[in-house]
Chains A and B, each alone.
Chain A
């Protein structure tokens, strides 16, 4: 049985932060972290801790966390591994509520002994300790940012609804950089490294309860407490979508295998089974993570597998149709009213069928006519609007039309708009208004297929 061990709110929404190992030399991790807090406009108290300096970036420096009298919600530890036990002990004595150890040099470097040492200290004082060997956390709402990467190299996501959990720091910062380009924005980022104390189960529980988080995306390599992971996982996946990318797909060594079942149910297969059984949404690579996050963040779920395609390019419609069927979706058959409506209001050059090819000179009026009829069609469960912005009629008025229909219907609507500069401006407009936009026919179809799979899971499990 899962027992709530920590409250991560002190880590993600602290009133006071001590940065242990803060430094005035700009190439030190402790300097970058302090600078990030200042740059982000962190509204709480900041306490640089360093034994040798008196002032850093204009702030008074403390020799030890024990000298800070007002209480510390979060201590970020960025000192060499050998010194971590000592400063952690001081954090314990100073009743620091949570700690992030960004330093590496523990179990991942063969120093399990050192890791055991800090685990026992954290346990003794009941400190929620994240890491070691991690990037820490980022929360644009509370302006917390422990990432020690130079700001000019990493774009920071805007405030949003998607939270991202990553075991790996490198995958973490890469995906964060990519999220900065997406319309959905970031709620919380948590990189947990070696998971010595706080692990994926604690984090999943916290994000499941967090009201600012609508969608969770995770990169994990393995879990430490399988049973609790299932227990919390199945609770959270019923509340909000959890999209997971699992690293370490290749099978473990062919150690003595005694039965067929054993050889067919290795560790990766077990993870896949858990994800499927308990309602996780499985991503196969990094781009899936973002594509699915985009689709799920609209919170519109399909009721069936019937897709309507509206396009201003015949070929793109054909490619999308192929992907629809490859992903076990199907094309909607428009009902009589829709057909009559479309025949009456569209020019004769438009053949009325699904995919509905509005032809290369289609403008916002034609999209308007099409979406007006299709969005009310009871046979349509999802809509893909293909807008190729290279054509003369496709402009921001088409974008406004799409946004209008997205706002008045519950049916998931996504756009397919591959293209360069002109397109990306319009893409941003749509995404900022909650329409997921994709670059490839496959990405749209896969994302819709996941929406459907998840909506069926919820239905089978008594939700919706």
Chain B
């Protein structure tokens, strides 16, 4: 049986229930789950940070949220599209003064450029949908992590993780390797 896609309002309901269950769990059992959620949240935040780093105008202040990033992308593609259309309209003006055969050929190509320029509107709308989803996921996971960390969870369970921290999966308290253990392991591997 194929799983049905989850709508965001349903996801919110499920997450609320998950938080309630997490509150009933012992800190030892809850810690790894919180760590995974924190990792997901950190991953989304890093993605946003990477998007910020791709900005072309360093004079502008950092973007504060995903919606700003989206608007920046749409603004930049709109600006590029307008420049393309400026150039195409200029070509059409020049074409008005050339022999009919050449003028018609230029007009056909100009039409193709106009048609291709529709990408700006389409990509803008698609990006808007994707980034809105990302924003909602970020909000939901953040709420889940905060919900888990509100009560007696151990403090280290709520610390942000790096991607490498999860290479072997989250570790249960008491079963974790100490730094010495890790150092010994690395040494045995020749590192």
A binds B: no
Contacts from B to A (Cβ < 8 Å): none
